[in-house]
Amino acid sequence: MLRTVLVDDVRDIQTTELCRTYAEAFETLCQKKFDVMYLDHDLGCFDPKSGLDLNGATLIKVLSEGHVELPKIIVLVSGNPIGSERQRLILKDLGYKQIKEYKNDDIHLAGLTIMIFDEECQGCQYVDTEQCNIASKYRYIKEQTGPCPYKEVL
């Protein structure tokens, strides 16, 4: 069974674990391993001492700098296009490859931009085709976890 986590202060989808705050997500991801993480950018947290906006981008950066193993598959789910872009750039720097991107116009998701990243993707000519090993993995994930909570994203 795949272990999945949703890090989002508002949305509810069926996952193995749910984290509503930056602190909760940080603690959970330091203690447990997950196969897939659904990650929002705006987590509604601010640290007045450091002046940091404790959001999804900060979470990825701090965890990776602390040598915490991130899930192999990260699905960004955010209504904040600037925040999503920040997360995309951080994941790219960490070696993740962007597999797909869906915007509101593509699947009518009320302002959400969804980006799917995979650490193992080689960016070959077969991405998103039947011959792609990563696409096969997404089909397997879908079979194991049921339909994607964000319509047919995976």
Delimit the domains of the chain by residue range: 4-145
- Cα(87)–Cα(78) distance, rounded to whole angstroms? 10
| CATH number of the structural domain 4-145 | 3.40.50
Is pLDDT at 74 greater than 90 in this prediction? Answer: no
Compute the average pLDDT of residues 110-119.
56
The pTM (predicted TM-score) of the whole model is 0.73
Is pLDDT at 118 greater than 90 in this prediction? Answer: no
Please tell me which residue, 98 or 129, carries the higher pLDDT value. 98
Is pLDDT at 17 greater than 50 in this prediction? Answer: yes
- Cα(96)–Cα(154) distance, rounded to whole angstroms? 17
Please name which of 31, 41, 110 lies closest in space to residue 74, comparing C-alpha atoms.
41
Compute the average pLDDT of residues 87-104.
78
- Cα(89)–Cα(48) distance, rounded to whole angstroms? 26
Give the CA radius of gyration of the chain. Answer: 15
State the chain's mean pLDDT as an integer: 75
